Structure 1
Amino acid sequence: MSDVASLLQRAQQARRGLGALPRDAALEAAARRLRAQQDQILEANARDVARERERGTPEPLIDRLRLDSSRLEGICEGLRQVRALPDPLGRVQDGWTHPQGMRIERVAVPFGVVAVIYESRPNVTVDAAALILKAGSACVLRGSSSALESNRALVAALRAGLEEAGLPSDAVQLVDSADRSSVNALLTARGLVDLVIPRGGAGLIRTVVENARVPVIETGVGNCHLFVERSADLEMALEILINGKVQRPGVCNALETLLVDREIAPAFLPRAVRALRAHGVELRGDEDARTYAPGVEAASDADWDTEYLDLILAIRVVDGVEGALAHIARHGSGHSEVIVTRDLAAAQAFQDGVDAAAVYVNASSRFTDGFEFGFGAEIGISTQKLHARGPMGLRELVSYQYRVTGHGQIRGSNPQPSAAQEQA
């Protein structure tokens, strides 16, 4: 699309020299603009929410979309926290001296132009822009059609904050179109887009990974498990279960499957089922789980691989830590996994055996979040293993270059001067 190409060219122009400009002042100004334009932002969001309700969008997804004054203040707080983080640019990551006396340093530098393709959640608009700008790069945002009016209002406030601080407003760009061809235009813009980060469901991520001709950091879906081991404090397990499934079921770090050690299933499962049903959770279980909790719907093979993002939970009874690890190895998404246990050996075996970006012992999976990890905000949860893994903050949003300082060194032996040259 010519419009996308033009937008990207402006972003490339804006990113030049951005690292030397007052980016922290721009973040502070952006927070002020968001507060000053709160009424317009919330009105735009209300129109998005009303339209999605008319379409019959499930309430957990509506909750991901909805903004109110409290959530908007939380977004502004995220901006302040990013502003307070140390500048990642210019940081010497490593350094040494070459045998010929040159100094070699690996130094953090911006990516350039970073595009983020994401779904629904308008807070991602501000979080992504703040982190990318702080990391010295220009940001190109392509949100979903469900949040288009919200994103327009948010980006207008962000761009006004940049201008107020003396930065080019084109350092934050919104692809203001619901046309899916705009996604392909971003994914194939070699030379204009330096990095693409997808953030959303399995379908979006698959589309980006399969079609991108530019570098991608793959964020993953969150098929997260809670394993209640035989030695667990059952009250603790119940609290972690309810928090992980119920607090915000429509987010990637919510629980989707409960695994229960066979030895404690008769004592724990009836209590867990009662508590979950009291919160409106629909349950689907294997044959053993249904034995201990009559009335639970039979789980299908597909249930073990589904990221519900809703008040639905799959339940399976397993044989100890090895049974839990075997299930997670087959069905997990590499996001976040939890064990509740009093047994240190079981905890260690679980941590060592599970392949996930975040592994919890006696704590909720809901903590897998850049804000909670102290990163100020996050741009996504990476489930891959190259460059970035887990919540991605500033450290994952810079590249590096080698800077070599010498005093005339050349490679190889210097040619010996001739006698005539020496006399000359």
Structure 2
Amino acid sequence: MSSAISPLAPTEITDMPAVAGVKFATAAAGIRYKGRTDVLLAILDRGTTVAGVFTQSKCPSAPVEWCRAKLKSGKARALVVNSGNANAFTGKTGRQATALTAALAAKAAGCSPNEVFLASTGVIGEPLDATKFDGVLATLAETAAPGDWMSAAKAIMTTDTFPKLATATVKLGKANVTINGMAKGAGMIMPDMATMLSFVFTDAPISASALQSLLRDGVEDTFNAVTIDGDTSTSDTLLAFATGHAAASGAPKISRAGDPRLKAFTKALHTVLADLSEQVARDGEGARKLIEIIVEGAVSKKSARKIAMSVANSPLVKTAIAGEDANWGRVVMAVGKAGEPANRDKLSISFNGIRVAKSGARDPSYNEQEVSAAMKNPKIQIRIGLGLGKGRDRVLTCDLTKEYIAINADYRS
């Protein structure tokens, strides 16, 4: 965890309301960090449904495999998250660690281990000593209380420089329902059907299958449209929990994602996921610039996404932005290498609304001083026009600085 807060961090602390049926407690279990909390326990009321999406890495962590297996029941009573150790690439000992952690949490929460969900983040390849949770989880279960979202978000941080929280309140039937979310992630970020670690909680009465559909759709243009360095983690986990408590206030019980009464809720969920994913981009390791890449005129949305990601993951583009250099030549390079349909002579490129390239050449009205001034902004928008079709997409990333190298060169040592 870095000591200096990202200059792109939100300027205001989000006021997070309580979600009925959710309680938190955190502790310092000494997993890796000294002098800070590194374990979070969430206790969920009976009847809570759960949905999840996970990394598509072929080398997933033990907690990811645990959650995938337990997700089939659609029921959850507890969530345990630790930072400092990813429990990934840890073989049989990793699976034993998840089983022990779940057993300890189940005993503390008074539920079955099959209703316990797990997530770990930190160093890959080092065994997780789950015996450190013995006694700690029991104490956390006794002290768990609603409301302290900030402490919960801080406990799951690794190289993050600030906790990431988002909330929305929306009408469902006659009741107001709350959607709260937290996330962690600053490096090894290019999600693939999931996010780094993120947890969403709502008091809406939604079935597990409906929640699963909403979540799967919701990540596509939020977390899956963010990249820091092009590396997909072994541990990416996004879990959503619905306690159903709002039913007592008049919220209808929802059994399918296509229910028209879910329209406002679906939009609010997307807003929360989008907020969290942008905060991840703002906290990219060593980041000084938030970069928004918009690709228009592609042959399809899928093609636009691939081109946008090619630009977003280019070290040459990202270092140019870090140096406040509107180097459109590097953008052209990244478009050309994406393997998607593109016509050099139809290409146009803009930085922060200033067109620098048009019809395959430098824009005739290009002004170096004007563009240089625009590149000093903390947010840089790169807009790419392909002129081939109606496909459009948008992704977020950040610049690549010397600090990113320093953070990752020293991460294990």
TM over 0.5: no
- What TM-score do you get using the length of structure 2 for normalisation? 0.28
TM-score normalised to the size of structure 1?
Answer: 0.27
More helix by share: 1
Larger Rg: 1
